[in-house]
Structure 1
Amino acid sequence: MDPRTLSGWQGYNPYSSDELLAIQMNLEAESAWFTKQNMTFLILPCFDKNSIYPEYLPWPYADAIGPSRLAQIFEHMKLHSKVQLVDVRQPLLTAKKLNQFDTYFKTDSHWNNIGAFYAYKEIVKRLLIVYPQFVPHNLEDFVLDTNLKRAGDLAGMANLDVSHILEHQLVSKKNITANRMSPKKDKILIFGDSFSDFFFKDYFWRHFNEVKYVYGYSNARYKFDKSTILQYRPNVVIIESIERFWINP
Structure 2
Amino acid sequence: MLKKVYNIIFIVLFMAIISLPLIKANWKSGVVSEDENRYLTDTPKLIENGRFNPDFTSDVESWFKDNMGFRKYLIDTNARLQYEVFGRMLNKSNYYIGRHGDFIYATDAMIADYAHLNLRSDERVAQIGQSYQTISDWLGDKGIKFYNVQCWDKHSIYPEQFMASVNQIGDTSKTDQVVNYIKNNTTVNEISLKEMLLDKKKSYEVYSHYGDPTHWTERGAYFGYQYIMEKINEDNHNMYNILSEDDYDITVEDKGITLNGFIHEKDMMETFAIRNPKAVKADKSLMGEFGEDERHSIWINKDAGNDTRLLLMCDSYINSFIVEDFAESFSEVWLVWGDYTKDLDKVIELFNPDIVIYECAERVDRSDAVVEFADKIK
- The question of whether the paired residues in 2 share the 8 Å contact of 1:111 and 1:198 is answered with no
AA in 1 matched with 2:363: R
Matching residue within 225, 235, 248 for 2:354: 235
| Ranges in structure 1 where 5+ consecutive residues have no aligned partner | 175-180
The aligned residue for residue 205 of structure 2 is: 101
Matching residue within 144, 160, 164 for 1:59: 164
AA in 1 matched with 2:133: E
- Tell me the alpha carbon deviations over residues 59-102 of structure 1, each in whole angstroms, 9 at most, x when there is no partner: 1236453311111112112221111421111111222112x334
The aligned residue for residue 271 of structure 2 is: 169
CA separation in 1, counterparts of 2:170 and 2:112? 10
RMSD over aligned CA atoms reads 2.7
- The question of whether the paired residues in 2 share the 8 Å contact of 1:185 and 1:207 is answered with no
Alignment of 1:141-152 (within 5 A): 141-142=247-248, 144-149=250-255, 151=257
The count of residues paired between Structure 1 and Structure 2 equals 235
CA separation in 2, counterparts of 1:22 and 1:209? 35
- The question of whether the paired residues in 2 share the 8 Å contact of 1:41 and 1:236 is answered with yes
- The question of whether the paired residues in 2 share the 8 Å contact of 1:105 and 1:112 is answered with no
The aligned residue for residue 9 of structure 2 is: none
CA separation in 2, counterparts of 1:106 and 1:37? 45
- The question of whether the paired residues in 2 share the 8 Å contact of 1:105 and 1:168 is answered with no
The aligned residue for residue 137 of structure 1 is: 243
The yes-or-no answer on 1:192 pairing with 2:192 is no
CA separation in 1, counterparts of 2:353 and 2:254? 35
CA separation in 2, counterparts of 1:217 and 1:6? 23
Percent identity between the two aligned chains: 21
SS state of the match for residue 199, structure 1? coil
Query: C-alpha displacement at 1:225, in angstroms?
Result: 2.5
AA in 2 matched with 1:195: Y
CA separation in 2, counterparts of 1:48 and 1:187? 29
CA separation in 2, counterparts of 1:194 and 1:206? 18
CA separation in 2, counterparts of 1:61 and 1:246? 21
CA separation in 1, counterparts of 2:115 and 2:322? 27
- Once the two structures are overlaid, the 10-residue window that deviates more, 67-76 or 142-151, is 142-151
The yes-or-no answer on 1:5 pairing with 2:110 is yes
The aligned residue for residue 335 of structure 2 is: 213
Alignment of 1:30-69 (within 5 A): 30-61=135-166, 63-69=168-174
- The question of whether the paired residues in 2 share the 8 Å contact of 1:148 and 1:166 is answered with yes
Query: C-alpha displacement at 1:182, in angstroms?
Result: 5.8
AA in 2 matched with 1:241: C
| Ranges in structure 2 where 5+ consecutive residues have no aligned partner | 1-105, 277-302, 369-378
- Once the two structures are overlaid, the 10-residue window that deviates more, 28-37 or 108-117, is 108-117
Query: C-alpha displacement at 1:104, in angstroms?
Result: 4.6
